[in-house]
Amino acid sequence: MTGPVTTALDGDVWHLTLDNPTAGNVVDQAMAEQLGAAIAQRPAGARAVLLTATGPRFCVGGDVRAFAAAADDLPEVIGRLAQTWHGTIRALLYCEVPVVAGVHGAVAGAGLGLLGACDIVVCARNTKLRPAYGGLGLTPDGGTSWALTRALGAPRALELMLTDGTLSAADAHLFGLVARLVDDDELLDVVTALAHQVAAGPIRSMVRTRGLVRRAAVRTLEEQLVDEERLIRVSATDPESREGVTAFLEGRRPDFPGAG
């Protein structure tokens, strides 16, 4: 695939790259459609998805120039883009394998929603994150309000969005929006190694765990206990668990990819 999103199979990792650097990897209709298609086209042998970007900016959000050119058609243009983009976000959220992202430079607007849709986000130390909707007189989309509120809590999320503020990489890490900070020149090596590490693990168990974690914020403990019991029973029937238990007793590393 070529265009604003490129793809490559790196062993057991499906590597998706936002690849429109001259435009800051803007979220336009073409990018939204191609990223969604790229997720859907994940080869059967790929056990993890890795999302990165080329150029100095990870993603600057929506294509403001296209918004200006739309004139009276702006509601239709933005509404159609949001609908497509939300399909892409859902594809990441419900991906059948774990999703790892490496972000750098600038992340703004709809690009922030991508972070909330990924399972593990590694962030370069000099990255700046900004909602940017307020300066355009728009409300958030792409799950941006969900990701920020979930990580920062409502008071901080509102302060950031209502003042059109900027979040440093250090604060994004402190508040839990990103999982790990690395030096800028190490980002690609670190995130690639991490994606392969994840791909070697029990991916079906990981995806079940992801669901538990995401649902925990809106559930009572009793509801979570019921779901944990259900899912650990499911996991116990999976060849991954048999391989994990056998490997432990035999004193060796488990071969989860070979567990079927």
Map residue 101 onto helix, strand or coil: strand
The answer to whether 107 and 128 have CB atoms below 8 angstroms apart is yes
Q: How many CA atoms lie within 13 A of 48 on its CB side?
A: 29
pLDDT at 3 exceeding the cut of 90: no
As beta bridge partners, residue 108 has 130
DSSP state letter for 95: -
Q: Where are the alpha helices (DSSP H) in the chain?
A: 29-40, 64-70, 74-93, 110-117, 144-152, 154-162, 169-175, 187-199, 203-216, 221-236, 239-250
pLDDT score at 2:
62
pLDDT digits (tens, 9 = 90+) for 55-107: 999 999 999 988 889 888 999 999 999 999 999 999 999 999 999 999 999 99
pLDDT digits (tens, 9 = 90+) for 26-47: 999 999 999 999 999 999 999 9
Q: Which residue has the tokens 């059109």?
A: 164
Q: Which residue has the tokens 């116990």?
A: 236
pLDDT at 254 exceeding the cut of 60: yes
Residue ranges of domains in the chain, CATH in brackets: 5-199 (3.90.226.10), 203-259 (1.10.12.10)
C-alpha span between 40 and 205 (Å, rounded) = 21
Overall pTM surpassing 0.85 (yes/no): yes
pLDDT digits (tens, 9 = 90+) for 197-228: 999 999 999 999 999 999 998 999 999 999 99
pLDDT grade, residue 124 (50/70/90)?
Answer: very high
Averaged pLDDT, 120-131: 97
The answer to whether 116 and 178 have CB atoms below 8 angstroms apart is no
**Residue 224: Cβ within 10 Å count:** 15
pLDDT at 1 exceeding the cut of 90: no
The answer to whether 259 and 235 have CB atoms below 8 angstroms apart is no
β-pair type (128-130, 167-168)? antiparallel
Q: Is the dihedral of CA 248, 250, 256, 260 positive or negative?
A: negative
Map residue 144 onto helix, strand or coil: helix
pLDDT score at 184:
97
Quote the percentage of the chain above a pLDDT of 70: 99
Q: What are phi and psi of 127, to 5 degrees?
A: -70, 145
pLDDT digits (tens, 9 = 90+) for 7-29: 999 999 999 999 999 999 999 99
**DSSP string covering 60-91, please?**
--B-HHHHHHHGGGHHHHHHHHHHHHHHHHHH
pLDDT grade, residue 260 (50/70/90)?
Answer: confident
Average pLDDT of the chain, as a whole number: 95
